[in-house]
Amino acid sequence: MTMNPTNASLSGSMQSPRSQSSQPFLSVSVTDPVKLGNGVQAYISYRVITQTNFPDYQGPEKIVIRRYSDFVWLHDRLFEKYKGIFIPPLPEKSAVEKFRFSAEFIEMRRQALDIFINRIASHHELQQSEDLRTFLQADEEAMERFRAQESGIFKKKPSDLMQIFKDVQSKVSDVVLGKEKPVEESTPEYEKMKHYIFELENHLAEAQKHAYRLVKRHRELGQSLSDFGKAVKLLGDCEGNALGKAFSELGAKSETLSIKLQKEAYQILMNFEEPLKDYVRAVQSIKATIAERANAFRRQCELAETMKLKEINLDKLTLTRSDKVAEAQHEYNELKVESEQAAQTFETIVRLMNEEMVRFQEQKTKDMGIAFHEFAKGQARLANGIADAWRSLIPKLESCSSS
Amino acid sequence: MTMNPTNASLSGSMQSPRSQSSQPFLSVSVTDPVKLGNGVQAYISYRVITQTNFPDYQGPEKIVIRRYSDFVWLHDRLFEKYKGIFIPPLPEKSAVEKFRFSAEFIEMRRQALDIFINRIASHHELQQSEDLRTFLQADEEAMERFRAQESGIFKKKPSDLMQIFKDVQSKVSDVVLGKEKPVEESTPEYEKMKHYIFELENHLAEAQKHAYRLVKRHRELGQSLSDFGKAVKLLGDCEGNALGKAFSELGAKSETLSIKLQKEQAYQILMNFEEPLKDYVRAVQSIKATIAERANAFRRQCELAETMKLKEINLDKLTLTRSDKVAEAQHEYNELKVESEQAAQTFETIVRLMNEEMVRFQEQKTKDMGIAFHEFAKGQARLANGIADAWRSLIPKLESCSSS
């Protein structure tokens, strides 16, 4: 399943490098998962193929080998550098051990990583990133060095990120308990956005849970049909003659349908559950960005507070003609620069977030529209297939009972 | 669902009494269930309408009111009188209390009773029965009297009936344990028949179990689709705009289809598959009861033959010793000889009837199950096409949402 990139100049990941238009393009694909290593150290490596006419890139095509932790490195670097932008989400870290190398899981992860890297490559800001270039171009040893350097520095503390969302629920109790709340924006727009994300996350989780259950029920129904078919076939063998033939036909048909249903369950998984999961991850990414915005706001406020105090102190020292005035003035000036930078950082984040929100909504509309479309078509196809299978049985049954 | 009667002269239960052909006909229908009485004594009564040109019957039409226990009376009388014939089976006695008066249960029972009485009415031997005539013609008070008289006399002891089927499994262990086995036929044909019935019963039970589970799974899928629809609708309300609309459409469609799946599908499987299978199982139970009767008759025949041998030896002894008990012994012997011949006759009749019945049973079953499967397959196809259309109707709406 391919997600359509927002950037209109990208016409897809399969653009031939020969079309040397003056239009800049950056096209990436993640392919050929291969299991390397042994035992607990085993991992999957992917071929990452870049086709581009960007300056500073080795064109027209460059192939590198990357693993999941390389993608994580890129994600964390971008998150740290581009505050305010919703960094495309990564698929989850490895699942239960025995599932980790199943064909299904590997393919799902490959697709998700391909989508991840293409979203970055088609984002007008993120595609300029040096870290992206490193990721797409550096040879494997260089990549490993970069990765080893940076681990640990950018570890997020989950409690920080989640605190502001707990507040959505606990506003009243905090006031009652007299807990000191961290400084936070309180504009209507900000509140509205937080609330929207909070609600969205809950509803997505519910929809995901039920989509998963739907897949499970399809599988169970398929299994039940298969058991039914076998039991009816046994009846047929017991009977012999026309009746036996009728039973056998019905039994065989049930088993065929069972296979159909189980396949469809898998299709629903791929075509609907995954987009839904992707949506959930995107919301997580937005939450992380909101947390960054809150951090920036807090810093701005703290610096503004500190500046006020320093200003008062400076005035005091000036009045008393203290010899500490020069030092204090110097500190104050430095603080003023920091404060202006912090305000700038915060405003940038707010501006970027507003643009990103619009982009997110448009992209989500498209992606989910496609997903629903496929879902409805798949269900219709399945139902028609089932109807045809039953109809094909009728002439055979007629010939059985008339003999 | 109507079962086609085997007797070719009956063209169906709806034959107009005006077609006064010289062909004898007997047509019965069980209709209009009505709840009578109160509380624990409440019960359902049915109208039984008979249209016939049989002699001794009040024609052209006679209507009586009957209840389930009247049908049971008739069944037990026929079972007692027509040994060797597979008496059509009755639907089960009342279910769980709260289910007993549900519309579904009442309708299923009415249909089953209608089928029951028509099978009797179309059976060339059973239709001659006096008890059938009583059932179809006697007024309600007379019927109640008949019923009260006979209760208890014909109670079957379940253990008797089941013993010979346990033997199918325990042949070896009996020999090992040195248990004394009751006298039983051991011809290849008899063994084959017993084995066939035993196997059939097992496989029917398995098929029934899985049909029931199939209905359950369809219900679960339907419920799951409904929950999914609701969750997606909530998502839609949260989003607003085109995306929200798309979610809402999908959600609504899912819920609609869910209802379709749960109700229609479950009903379809129930009526066109589960019920015919249950009927099949009951028929097999009836055959087992008849086999047990055959075994009883065989045993009686053997016992009498044994007793006769002993009496013959005794008679010879008494004759030789010129005892004064000779006349008495001779008289006893003669009586026993008559009984023995009757028992042999009874047994042979049962064997002959059973052979005919087996053929009739197979033919009837083939037809009935063929019809049931046919309806089942058609119903499934219809349902599936309906579901496909419902999903397809969603697609243009989704397309309009994502292009806006």
**Is there a contact between B53 and B16 (Cβ–Cβ < 8 Å)?**
no
Quick one: closest CA in B to A392, which residue? B377
Give Cα separations from B236 to A38, A195, A360, A365, B244 (angstroms): 47, 15, 16, 11, 4
Identify which has the larger pLDDT, B132 or B184. Answer: B132
- The pLDDT, as a whole number, for residue A182 is 64
From the list B204, B228, B401, the residue facing A214 with the nearest CB is B228
pLDDT at B5 over 50: no
CB-CB neighbors (< 8 A) of A361 in chain B: 241, 243
- The pLDDT, as a whole number, for residue A338 is 93
pLDDT at B1 over 80: no
Instruction: Label residue B22 exposed, middle or buried (CB < 10 Å: 0-12, 13-18, 19+).
Output: exposed
**Is there a contact between A71 and A80 (Cβ–Cβ < 8 Å)?**
no
pLDDT in tens, B223-259: 888 898 888 888 877 777 777 787 788 888 888 888 8
pLDDT at B357 over 90: yes
From the list B203, B225, B398, the residue facing A238 with the nearest CB is B203
CB-CB neighbors (< 8 A) of B211 in chain A: 228
From the list A213, A246, A361, the residue facing B224 with the nearest CB is A213
pLDDT at B265 over 60: yes
Radius of gyration of chain B (CA): 29
- The pLDDT, as a whole number, for residue A222 is 85
In whole angstroms, what is the distance from residue A65 CA to residue A323 CA?
62
In whole angstroms, what is the distance from residue A27 CA to residue A363 CA?
19
In whole angstroms, what is the distance from residue B315 CA to residue B332 CA?
10
Q: Does A195 touch chain B (CB under 8 A)?
A: no
Query: In the predicted model, what is the mean pLDDT of residues A304-317?
Result: 90
The strands making up A61-67's β-sheet, listed across from edge to edge, are A26-36, A43-52, A61-67
Query: In the predicted model, what is the mean pLDDT of residues B293-309?
Result: 91
Identify which has the larger pLDDT, A147 or B175. Answer: A147
pLDDT at A163 over 70: no
Longest Cα–Cα distance in chain A: 120
pLDDT at A179 over 50: yes
Which of B354, B348, B345 lies closest to B286, judged by CA? B354
Output the average pLDDT for chain B.
Answer: 82
pLDDT bracket for residue A41 (50, 70, 90): confident
- The pLDDT, as a whole number, for residue A390 is 85
pLDDT bracket for residue A4 (50, 70, 90): very low
What is the pairing mode between strands B43-52 and B61-67?
Answer: antiparallel
- The pLDDT, as a whole number, for residue B10 is 33
Q: Does A266 touch chain B (CB under 8 A)?
A: no
Q: Does B4 touch chain A (CB under 8 A)?
A: no
Identify which has the larger pLDDT, A250 or B153. Answer: A250
Percent of chain B with pLDDT over 90: 32
Question: Per the CB < 8 Å rule, is B206 touching A375?
Answer: no
Q: Does B205 touch chain A (CB under 8 A)?
A: no
Distance in angstroms between the alpha carbons of the first and the last residue of chain B: 51
From the list B204, B234, B395, the residue facing A373 with the nearest CB is B395
pLDDT bracket for residue B347 (50, 70, 90): very high
- The pLDDT, as a whole number, for residue B68 is 93
CB pairs under 8 A between A and B: 187
pLDDT at B129 over 70: yes
- The pLDDT, as a whole number, for residue B7 is 36
Query: In the predicted model, what is the mean pLDDT of residues A294-310?
Result: 91
Q: Does A189 touch chain B (CB under 8 A)?
A: no
Identify which has the larger pLDDT, A39 or A178. Answer: A39
Quick one: closest CA in B to A361, which residue? B243
Q: Does A242 touch chain B (CB under 8 A)?
A: yes
E strands, B268-369, are: none
pLDDT bracket for residue A158 (50, 70, 90): very low
CB-CB neighbors (< 8 A) of A231 in chain B: 203, 206-207, 209-210
Which of A196, A122, A27 lies closest to A359, judged by CA? A122
pLDDT bracket for residue A90 (50, 70, 90): very high
- The pLDDT, as a whole number, for residue B9 is 33
- Best mutation target among B235, B280, B365, B397 (most A Cβ atoms within 10 Å) is B235
- The pLDDT, as a whole number, for residue B259 is 83
Question: Per the CB < 8 Å rule, is A200 touching B238?
Answer: yes
Helix (H, G, I), strand (E, B) or coil at B150: helix
**Other CB atoms within 10 A of residue B79 CB:** 18
pLDDT bracket for residue A402 (50, 70, 90): low
- The pLDDT, as a whole number, for residue B262 is 77
Query: In the predicted model, what is the mean pLDDT of residues A207-211?
Result: 86
CA distance A262 to chain B (A): 13
- The pLDDT, as a whole number, for residue B13 is 40
Identify which has the larger pLDDT, A151 or A385. Answer: A385
Quick one: closest CA in A to B375, which residue? A394
pLDDT at B132 over 90: yes
Question: Per the CB < 8 Å rule, is B402 touching A373?
Answer: yes
Question: Per the CB < 8 Å rule, is A213 touching B228?
Answer: yes
Quick one: closest CA in B to A199, which residue? B238
CB-CB neighbors (< 8 A) of B376 in chain A: 250
pLDDT in tens, B311-321: 999 889 988 98
- The pLDDT, as a whole number, for residue B40 is 80
- The pLDDT, as a whole number, for residue B356 is 92
pLDDT at B55 over 90: no
From the list A247, A390, A401, the residue facing B367 with the nearest CB is A401
3-state SS record for B225-269: HHHHHHHHHHHHHHHCHHHHHHHHHHHHHHHHHHHHHHHHHHHHH
The kind and range of the H/E element at A291 are helix A274-319
From the list A250, A376, A390, the residue facing B381 with the nearest CB is A390
Q: Which pTM was predicted?
A: 0.70
Q: 316-375 in A: which are within 8 Å (CB) of B?
A: 361, 364-366, 368-370, 372-373, 375
Output the average pLDDT for chain A.
Answer: 82
Question: Per the CB < 8 Å rule, is B206 touching A234?
Answer: yes
pLDDT at B64 over 60: yes
Least confident segment among A304-318, A388-402, B195-209: A388-402
Question: Per the CB < 8 Å rule, is A386 touching B392?
Answer: no
Quick one: closest CA in B to A197, which residue? B238
Query: In the predicted model, what is the mean pLDDT of residues B340-361?
Result: 92
pLDDT in tens, A180-195: 556 788 888 889 888 8
Query: In the predicted model, what is the mean pLDDT of residues B321-350?
Result: 91
Q: Does A398 touch chain B (CB under 8 A)?
A: yes
Q: Does B260 touch chain A (CB under 8 A)?
A: no
Least confident segment among B45-54, B127-136, B382-391: B382-391
**Is there a contact between A321 and A314 (Cβ–Cβ < 8 Å)?**
no
pLDDT in tens, B149-205: 765 555 554 445 555 555 554 444 444 555 555 678 888 888 988 888 988 888 888
